[in-house]
Copies of this chain bind each other. A is one copy, B any other.
Amino acid sequence: MNKPIILTGDRTTGPLHIGHYAGSLSNRLRYQDSHEQYLLLADTQALTDNASDPDKVRRNVIEVALDYLAVGIDPSLTTICLQSHLPALAELSMLYLNYVTVSRLERNPTIKDEIRARGFGRDIPAGFLCYPAAQAADITAFKATIVPVGEDQAPLIEQTNEIVRKINATAGKAVLPEAQAVISSNGRLPGIDGRSKMSKSGGNAIQLSASPDEIRDAVKAMFTDPNHLRVEDPGQVEGNVVFAYLDAFDDAKQELSEIKAHYQRGGLGDGKIKSRLEDILQSFIAPIRERRQKLSQDQAYVVETIRQGTERAQNLTEATKREVVDALGLFQL
């Protein structure tokens, strides 16, 4: 149990897509042996901007869990747990809110960007503004020291560490460890339209459960180099979605590098590279889709997996909460 503790998770707002795989799930598979890994089905956080649609948040608990298991997350190595069923997280969140000012939350660059992106205007749900404190509760309750995040989320870890330092200073001892943000080297996969990152809501994603037809249609519709009109023209690799996906999913790196060179000097058509990508994606997704399909017919197993992981996480997070409360010298019955 001396492995470093790592916490990640996903808001339960929709099934995951191959962008999640490239950006985070693939790393999580690697971390399974080397780290004590917790995956949070973040239904509580999903509510911070989906409060009017709790049904969506509920439905996708199972969908995200299915995605985890289908890609190869092994519940005997990785703990999959449900955020809403870990009361210590809510208790620590409420505690931490006293150690962060409203103006500090408002200055958080991630929050500022997300408020803009969601068009909240003046009607920001208080839960949304406060979610960095809730995230600090998640991270510290598991005593995670490694937190993989997207580049845009690094300020949230800084916020967590500020709270950690305040709690430790008030307690007069280092009851909580600081966490380190690990930014994925893979970056974010663009959507098939090339306009923005792949997202559930953007309609530009290839889901991990995509059917062969969906994969074929998505690759066909994929953005390449708009100036690459004739096969013999030189083509651009940068900003070309097909190559971004090949970089993420094509394991024959040497061959890929030759293909890129060929495309750049001209003489290689989009049809050829798309056909290569489609083959790769079809054989990448097929076994995931099959496992997912099989698992989805045994929901009892999936629920039991979540239940067992959540129980394990309950014990851990409850213990941390008690330690924090004790260290602060609050009343314990």
Contacts and interface: CB of A to CB of B under 8 A. Distances in A.
Given A98-B126, A103-B123, A303-B333, 10 more contacts: A47-B330, A51-B98, A51-B99, A90-B93, A94-B94, A98-B127, A101-B123, A102-B122, A103-B122, A126-B133
A273 interface: no
A202 interface: no
A167 to B, nearest CB: 10
A162 to B, nearest CB: 12
A306 B330 contact: no
A330 B85 CA distance: 11
B125 A100 contact: yes
A196 interface: no
Contact of A90 (B43, B87, B130, B310): B87
Which of A12, A129, A134, A325 has the most B CB atoms < 10 Å from its CB? A129
B333 A127 contact: no
Contacts of A87: 87-88, 90-91
B329 A58 contact: yes
A18 interface: no
Secondary structure type dominating chain A contacts: helix
Contacts of A102: 102, 122, 124-126, 129
A95 interface: yes
A101 B82 contact: no
Interface in A114-163: 122-130, 133-134
Nearest to A91: B90
A90 B94 contact: yes
A115 to B, nearest CB: 10
Contacts of A303: 333
A114 B87 CA distance: 29
Number of chain A interface residues as a range: 35 or more
A307 interface: yes
A301 to B, nearest CB: 14
A94 B96 CA distance: 12
A97 B330 contact: no
A310 to B, nearest CB: 6
Given A58-B331, A329-B54, A330-B58, A99 B125 contact: yes
Contacts of A176: none
Contacts of A124: 101-103
A125 B98 contact: yes
A254 interface: no
A128 B95 CA distance: 11
A185 B329 CA distance: 38
A191 to B, nearest CB: 28
A13 interface: no
B94 A122 contact: no
Contacts of A130: 97, 126, 130
A44 B146 CA distance: 30
Interface in A278-333: 303, 306-307, 310, 325, 328-331, 333
Nearest to A105: B126
